[in-house]
A and B are shown apart, each in its own frame.
Chain A
């Protein structure tokens, strides 16, 4: 009926984005030899243990070497190192696509499982808490201050806001995080400096939740700090340009009240680009969360991603997390596309047939 076709087209193109990201991931891990190096290192480490164990049983050096070689070949086969990456990695990606995420080598859940899917399920909620809360705060402040500023373009407050917006946009999240930790954690001692819970964590569920919120304040503040400027500025600029359109003059000539003009004729019309800005901001904060979570020791997906790359490299985790981050981004984009179609009738193709006699 006009609404579904544009959404389906966008969904298809977003699925292609997902595939493209995975292809690039395979290329960057495989073609650079990174994947081979990770696996060789793992095999090498396991072989040291195997060799010690074998050496205790087999005394003859030649026999020992032969046994070690068979063991090593077996291990290499089990990790797929006997095949080139071009054969090994596509199979891995295909498994990831159907959410068969494999097993992590070093990371475990709190209950001890090494299933990547379970690890991610455990790490996803803390990340979503940070990202959605900071997005909502950014959106609320952005719309409130942005619309207010749009009525006083060129004033002193507008100029100050533009300046702050530029600074906020330029601030790196990890740096702001460190500065905030320094101010509120060390200098003032108002807020915890990192982690998700106090040590020892409270046992009462409510107290535990409150403790987590208490620890979330600084990371959320950091994410808001780096996204609030662009958000205010986008809202201000969009509402300002819509406010100058002819239909707003006509609404004023009609004698509509100021509130009705602001809501129906300005904000409602400016909504699609504003929502776009916010959701693209969410995509940016997905990336930013990796560093912010690392700085704050926040046990979310971002921290996990950092550990999977910078700690003991874990290919299964890297692939699975890249997939999950892309999936989150693609889902956010799809929500955006749906909102856009709902908010802006001009995007609906062939929507005009409904009213026609």
Chain B
């Protein structure tokens, strides 16, 4: 097999361009009961130099579909229906699958998939899995092994881990190994899909600290999917709240958490239980909308505590409410949201 990315070839990059720019993305799934547009008109950018964007939402909100479109890991029945994905100035959404595989996958966009526990091949040694792409790229075995061993060391795994099988590692160790794997090609962008969801809290904290260090020391851009606002605020510079396949609100983490301008964000924040507080967590009744049915108005209207007539007939657009802070509610532009009882 010939080397896939010959040494010395510089990736097509425009220094002025953002690391990642997603423009008007729509993702559709063909199901037995028709076509479902589970992502509709999503746009965001990720700055170069190690910005982390958190994608927050309930299950089924479309956050994983968004990143799967970026990484081209949509299931067989899914496809990008509209939109452009631009990586450092290059429109990667136009590349052929084979070109994307060879030039973008792992070398520029690496992934830590959901369900860390099962993301390693059970019958191959950790080292063989960590070095397989390097080997496929034509790197000599010894060099590939040395490189991966250094990365295992960097993520805090004991020497010799590369000789072990996945079932011999704990959940936290597995997730560290997966993160080490993601770094073998020094990617520009790391997509993390709930990387800590299967881990217990103390291990979760260790992994989050590791990610923060990597972000700082390597300047890797990160897309971080979670339903945990606390985790997102810990790692991410910016946060996008996703609901019903749309971005409800996007902005700097601190500004957004301190002053949500969309009722869905506000309810999501209120639903976090607080230790040592008499206040009961807010409850968000209902379920995310069924996207197979066209919704004429606001997609959150059915569950929104602040709903009024206009919401049911007219779909709100994202409006800018502050510096780099957009929200999708007719009330967003009017300043802080009115208080909600309960």
A interface vs B, CB < 8 Å? 245-247, 249-257, 260, 264-265, 268-269, 271, 343-346, 351-352, 354-357
Contact = CB atoms under 8 A, between A and B. Distances in A.
17 contacts: A247-B121, A249-B119, A250-B119, A250-B120, A250-B181, A253-B73, A253-B106, A255-B101, A346-B122, A346-B123, A346-B165, A352-B164, A352-B165, A352-B168, A355-B125, A356-B164, A357-B159
B73 A247 contact: no
A255 B114 contact: no
B162 A253 contact: no
Given A256-B133, A355-B160, A355-B161, A251 B121 contact: yes
B120 A355 contact: no
Interface string B145-168: 000000000000011111111011
* Interface residues of A, dominant DSSP: helix
Contact of B162 (A245, A251, A355): A355
A253 B113 contact: yes
A355 B125 CA distance: 10
Interface in B104-150: 104-107, 110-111, 113-115, 118-125, 132-133, 136
A269 B120 CA distance: 11
A355 B169 CA distance: 12
B119 A356 contact: no
Contacts of B111: 250, 253
Contacts of B133: 254-256
B106 A346 contact: no
Nearest to B163: A355
B132 A246 contact: no
B210 to A, nearest CB: 18
Nearest to B134: A254
Given A251-B121, A260-B132, A260-B136, 11 more contacts: A247-B118, A250-B111, A254-B105, A255-B101, A255-B107, A257-B101, A264-B121, A264-B132, A268-B121, A344-B123, A355-B125
Contacts of B218: none
Given A247-B119, A260-B132, A344-B123, A253 B110 contact: yes
B123 A269 contact: yes
B31 to A, nearest CB: 12
B124 A264 contact: yes
A256 B122 contact: no
Given A254-B106, A269-B122, A346-B167, A246 B136 contact: no
Contacts of B115: 246
Nearest to A260: B136
Contacts of B160: 355-357
B178 interface: yes
Contacts of B159: 357
Interface of B: 4, 71, 73, 101-102, 104-107, 110-111, 113-115, 118-125, 132-133, 136, 158-165, 167-168, 178, 181
A351 B136 contact: no
A354 to B, nearest CB: 6
Contacts of B4: 255
Nearest to B111: A253
Most chain B beta-carbon neighbours within 10 Å: one of A245, A251, A253, A355: A253
B188 to A, nearest CB: 14
A257 B100 CA distance: 12
A156 to B, nearest CB: 16
Contacts of B118: 245-247
Contacts of A355: 125, 160-164
A91 B54 CA distance: 77
A256 B136 contact: yes
B123 A345 contact: yes
Contact of B105 (A247, A253, A260, A264): A253
A317 to B, nearest CB: 45
A243 B165 CA distance: 20
A256 B73 contact: no
A356 B168 CA distance: 10
* A-B pairs, 4 with minimum CB distance: A355-B163, A255-B105, A352-B168, A253-B111
B132 A256 contact: yes
Contacts of B113: 246, 249-250, 253
A257 B136 contact: yes
Nearest to A271: B123
Nearest to B97: A258
B71 A253 contact: yes
A254 B4 CA distance: 13
B122 A246 contact: no
Nearest to B132: A256
B71 A269 contact: no
B76 to A, nearest CB: 9
Contacts of A254: 105-106, 132-133, 181
Contacts of B124: 264, 268
A268 B105 contact: no
Q: Which of A252, A255, A269, A357 has the largest number of chain B CB atoms within 10 A? A: A255
A254 to B, nearest CB: 5
A247 B102 contact: no
Contacts of A346: 122-123, 165, 167
B108 to A, nearest CB: 10
A134 B294 CA distance: 57
Contacts of A345: 122-123, 165, 167
Nearest to B124: A264
B123 A343 contact: yes
A115 B111 CA distance: 68
B119 A246 contact: yes
A344 B133 CA distance: 23
Contacts of B114: 246
Nearest to A348: B165
B102 A255 contact: yes
Nearest to A255: B105
Given A246-B115, A345-B167, A252 B73 contact: yes
Nearest to B103: A255
* A246, A249, A254, A268: residue with the most chain B Cβ atoms closer than 10 Å: A254
A254 B121 CA distance: 13
A319 B71 CA distance: 64
A4 B168 CA distance: 18
A345 B165 CA distance: 7
Contact of B120 (A247, A343, A344): A247
B130 to A, nearest CB: 10
